[in-house]
Structure 1
Amino acid sequence: MKVAKQLTVLGIFLSFAIQVSTTPLHIGAFNLHIFGQSKFSESEVVSIISKIVRRYDIILLQEIRDVSETIIHDLLTVVNNEEQFYTYNIVVGPRLGRSSSKEQYAYIYRNETVQILDNYTHPDNDDVFEREPFVVLVRDLTATPVADLVLIGIHVRPSDAEDEINGLVPVYEEAESRYNTSHIIIMGDMNADCSYLSNARYNDLSFTTDSRFLWLISKDDDTTTANSSCAYDRFVVTRLVNNSLIPGSVLIYLFDREFNLTWAEAIDVSDHYPIELQLEGPSDATVPSSASTTATTIMVLTSSIITPSQTPQDSTNNNANIDDDDDDNSIVVGVIVGVITGVITSLLILVIAGLVAGVIIYKYIFKLSHVYPAGQGIVQVEPTTQYEN
C-alpha cells in the first residue's frame, strides 16, 4: 500500500508537470498574393514563405491560385524539409470564385501542437461571398487539458467588402451551432479599410457593432507591404477567446525588416504582412470530456498497477499466520521495492524536467534568436475595443 501511495503521489506530480509544460498557441493569417506556379519557381521567395509558416502552430494561407492544386502541397514539402523540430501537415479547401480566377484557402499546422478534427466550406446559399469562408475545428494540444477552438478563414472581395463582412455574422452562428462553442476566431484579409471600406461604413456594419465580437487590429494599423497604409487583415474574436488572449501578442509580422528585404523583395513575397496572436490554455473554453479526466486517469492507473488484490483470504490458508522470518522477508522486499520505485520516480522527474526545459529553451530562447535576429520584425497593435473579463 505504501508503494501504491508513492505512485499516486507520482501521478499527481505528472499531472502538475504536464500543466507546467503548457505553451501558448501561436496562430497566424497570411495573404500570399497570387501564390501559384510562377511564385513557387522563385526559390528565395519560397524560402521566406517557409520561414514565415514555421513561425506558427497553425496559419491560414489565402490567395492560392493554382489550377493543378499541387503547389501548396509542394510548399508543405519545403516547410518540412527545412524544419528541424516539428512536422507540419495541411488541410486545403476547394477552389472558389465566380470567375475563372479561382482561389483556395489552406491551413498549415504543427502535428505536435495542433490537431484538425473537422473542416468545411461555408454553404453560401445566398451567394454572399466570392470565396466562401473555410472553417476548421482545431484541437489545441498545447493546453492542459486539451481544448478545442474554431477558426474561420476569409478573403473578402474588395468591391463587396461591406456585404461580405456583414455576412460573416451568420457564418459565425452556423459554426457556433455546429460545434457547440463560442471559442471562435474569424481571420484573414477582410479588405476592411481605405477605399474598400470607409470609416463611416465600417462603424455602421452589424459585424463591427455586434457586442459578441472584438476586432483586434484597428483601422490605424497597416497590414500591407505596399506604399499604402491600410488595415486590410484582421482578427475578430469572441469574448471567450479574448479571455484566453495573451496580452501584447496581437502583432503584425514585418518580415521585410526581419529578413532585411528591400521593398521590391518584400512585394515579391506578398503585398500583405502576416498577422498573429497567441492564446494561453483557456480556463473556460470547450474542453473535450475525455481530456478533463486525463490527470485522474494517470493517478488511478499508476496506483492500480501495484495495489494488491483485496479479495478475502480463506481462513484455512497456511499463510494466515506470518512468522518472524516472513516479517524479515517483507522488510527486504519492501526495501527493494522502495529503492526501485525511488529510482524510477527520479528518472521520470529528470525526463519531465528535461522536456519542460527543452520546450522553454526552444520556445523562448532559441526560437527568439532564430526568428527575430534583428528584433525589428514585429509591430504590436492595440485592440479597437476592450471587453471586461
Structure 2
Amino acid sequence: MQRIVSLGLLAALVGGGWTALQNVGPQQLQQAVQSVRTTVGPMLAQQPGQQQSAPQPAPTTPQQNPYAGGYNYTPVGGAAQFAPPPVVQEPPSIRIASFNIQVFGDAKAEKPYVMRALAHIVKSFDVIAIQEIRTQDTNFIPRFLRDYVNVGVTSGGYDSRVSPRLGRTSSKEQYAFIFNTATIEVHPRFCAVVPDPEDRLHREPFAALFKTRIVPPYTPFTFTLINIHTDPDEVPEELDALYYVYDQVRRSQIDGGVEDDVILLGDLNTPVPAASRWTPDAEQRSITPRDLGLLGTIPNIAPLIRREATNTRGTRLYDNILIPRQNTVEYLDHGVMDLRSTYQLSEEQVLEISDHLPVWGKFSAIEGGPYQSASR
C-alpha cells in the first residue's frame, strides 16, 4: 500500500464488476426465450393423459447447439441458463529476486558460458538484487548488461544501479540492482548506501526506491528494496544491526510520506538446516524469528522463504526476502530458482555459476493488488 503524494505517483484505482447479463439486451433475451419455446413447445402441447416420449438430450457443443453462438446459452437439466463468466485473468505482476553471485568478477567474466547463464537468470526477473560483486573494474556491470543481458536490444532493455565498493578490509564488495526498464522504474534520487555510523555492519546495505510501469488508470506498485550481504563470521551481530537499519529506512520512508512497502532481501547467512529435491535432510526445519535475531522481532515482518534450501548444495537456508505483510498486500507468490532442473545442469556446473540460488517473490504490479498471506 502506498502513501506517495509528493512523488506524484498516487492515482485512482478504477475498477468495475460485470454480470453475466451485461451484454444481453432485451432483443437478445427475447430471441433466447423464443429458442426455448421452439425446443420445449411440442412437449408442453401434449394432451392430458398422453404418454410423453423420453426427453432428448440437449445439444452441448457449438456445432450441435443452434443457440450456442452469440447468446452464451447452455441448457442444463432442461432449463435455460446463461453460462458463468470466464475466469478473470491474474492482474499484471512482477518478480523481485535476490542472488548472491559468488565472487562475481573478472574470473567469471572469462567464462562466457557462465556469463550467458547469468544473463538468462537476470532476464527471468523484473528486478534482481545482486550481492558479492568483486572487481576493480568500474564498468563491470554495465559491460555485463551490454555484452550479455541486452544483446540484440536496440532500445530499453535492462539497466542497473551499483553501489560503491564496501567493506572494512581490502576485500571489498559491491551491490547492484538490475532491472527491466520496460516494467520497472527507479527513483532518480532515492538510491544510496544506508548509513551505519556505529559500524555495526561489515558492508552497509544498499537501498533504492522503485515503481512499476503500469498504464493509467491503475496506480503503480511502489516499493523500497534494501540489499544486504551479512558477514558470515558475524551473523548474529549483523542480524541485530539490521533491525536498526530496517527501522531507520522504514521511518524515513513512512514519516516522510514516501513509502511503506520496505522489503529487505539478500544473503542473510542464516544457519537454518534445509533440504532440496537433490539433497534430502531429516533435520530440515522452518525458519523462526529467533534465527533472525532482533530483525525477527519487527512487527509483521515475514520471510518469504521458510523451508527451502537456498544454497547450491541444498543444505542451508541462507538467502531470503522479508516483507511487511500487513503493508505489502501486493504479495502473490515466492520460490527458489532450482538452477539444476531449470537449465538441466549438474551440481558442479551450477557451482561454477554460484554457490547460492536465486530467491524470488511475485507481486502485483498494481498498488494494493490482491493479497495472499505470506505465511503460506
> What TM-score do you get using the length of structure 1 for normalisation?
0.63
**CA distance in structure 1 between the partners assigned to 2:292 and 2:224 by the alignment:** 26
Q: 1:187 aligned to 2:265?
A: yes
Q: 1:235 aligned to 2:321?
A: yes
**Amino acid corresponding to residue 336 of structure 2 in structure 1:** I
Q: What is the aligned partner in structure 2 of residue 275 from structure 1?
A: 359
What is the DSSP-based 3-state SS (H/G/I as helix, E as strand, rest coil) of the residue aligned with 1:164?
A: helix
Q: What is the aligned partner in structure 2 of residue 25 from structure 1?
A: 94
Q: Which has a greater percent of helix? A: 1
Q: 1:213 aligned to 2:287?
A: no
Q: What is the aligned partner in structure 2 of residue 136 from structure 1?
A: 208
Find the partner of 2:191 among 101, 104, 119: 119
Report how far residue 211 of structure 1 moved.
2.2
Q: 1:167 aligned to 2:241?
A: yes
What is the DSSP-based 3-state SS (H/G/I as helix, E as strand, rest coil) of the residue aligned with 1:123?
A: coil
Aligned pair in 2 of structure 1 residues 99, 169: CA closer, same or farther (>3 Å)?
same
**CA distance in structure 2 between the partners assigned to 1:55 and 1:183 by the alignment:** 23
Find the partner of 1:222 among 309, 313, 318: 309
Find the partner of 2:105 among 32, 36, 41: 36
Q: 1:97 aligned to 2:167?
A: yes
Confirm or deny: 8 A CA contact 1:30 1:188 kept in the other structure: yes
Report how far residue 83 of structure 1 moved.
5.7
What is the DSSP-based 3-state SS (H/G/I as helix, E as strand, rest coil) of the residue aligned with 1:124?
A: coil
**CA distance in structure 1 between the partners assigned to 2:91 and 2:287 by the alignment:** 40
Cα displacement string for residues 293-343 of structure 1 (whole angstroms, at most 9, x for unaligned residues)? xxxxxxxxxxxxxxxxxxxxxxxxxxxxxxxxxxxxxxxxxxxxxxxxxxx
Find the partner of 1:70 among 139, 146, 155: 139
What is the DSSP-based 3-state SS (H/G/I as helix, E as strand, rest coil) of the residue aligned with 1:101?
A: coil
Cα displacement string for residues 58-96 of structure 1 (whole angstroms, at most 9, x for unaligned residues)? 000110000122222211112011568961111000100
Confirm or deny: 8 A CA contact 2:132 2:174 kept in the other structure: yes
Cα displacement string for residues 12-49 of structure 1 (whole angstroms, at most 9, x for unaligned residues)? 9x998xxx995101111100000111111100000000
Q: Which runs of 5+ in 1 are unaligned?
A: 1-11, 286-381
Q: What is the aligned partner in structure 2 of residue 346 from structure 1?
A: none
| Equivalenced residues, count | 269
Aligned pair in 2 of structure 1 residues 49, 137: CA closer, same or farther (>3 Å)?
same
**CA distance in structure 2 between the partners assigned to 1:27 and 1:50 by the alignment:** 16
What is the DSSP-based 3-state SS (H/G/I as helix, E as strand, rest coil) of the residue aligned with 1:158?
A: coil
Q: Which has a greater percent of strand? A: 2
Relative contact order, CA 8 A, sep 6+: which one is greater? 1
**Amino acid corresponding to residue 176 of structure 1 in structure 2:** R
**Amino acid corresponding to residue 197 of structure 2 in structure 1:** N
Aligned pair in 2 of structure 1 residues 241, 51: CA closer, same or farther (>3 Å)?
farther
Report how far residue 240 of structure 1 moved.
3.9
Find the partner of 1:145 among 219, 226, 230: 219
Aligned Cα root-mean-square deviation (Å): 2.9
Report how far residue 194 of structure 1 moved.
4.5
Structure with the greater alpha carbon radius of gyration? 2
Aligned pair in 2 of structure 1 residues 282, 175: CA closer, same or farther (>3 Å)?
farther
> What TM-score do you get using the length of structure 2 for normalisation?
0.65
**CA distance in structure 1 between the partners assigned to 2:312 and 2:177 by the alignment:** 22
Q: What is the aligned partner in structure 2 of residue 262 from structure 1?
A: 346
What is the DSSP-based 3-state SS (H/G/I as helix, E as strand, rest coil) of the residue aligned with 1:190?
A: strand
1:309-324 matches, cutoff 5 A = none
**CA distance in structure 2 between the partners assigned to 1:187 and 1:69 by the alignment:** 24
Q: Which runs of 5+ in 2 are unaligned?
A: 1-11, 17-88, 274-285
**Amino acid corresponding to residue 129 of structure 2 in structure 1:** L
Report how far residue 54 of structure 1 moved.
0.4
Aligned pair in 2 of structure 1 residues 199, 49: CA closer, same or farther (>3 Å)?
closer
Aligned pair in 2 of structure 1 residues 200, 59: CA closer, same or farther (>3 Å)?
closer
**Amino acid corresponding to residue 321 of structure 2 in structure 1:** F
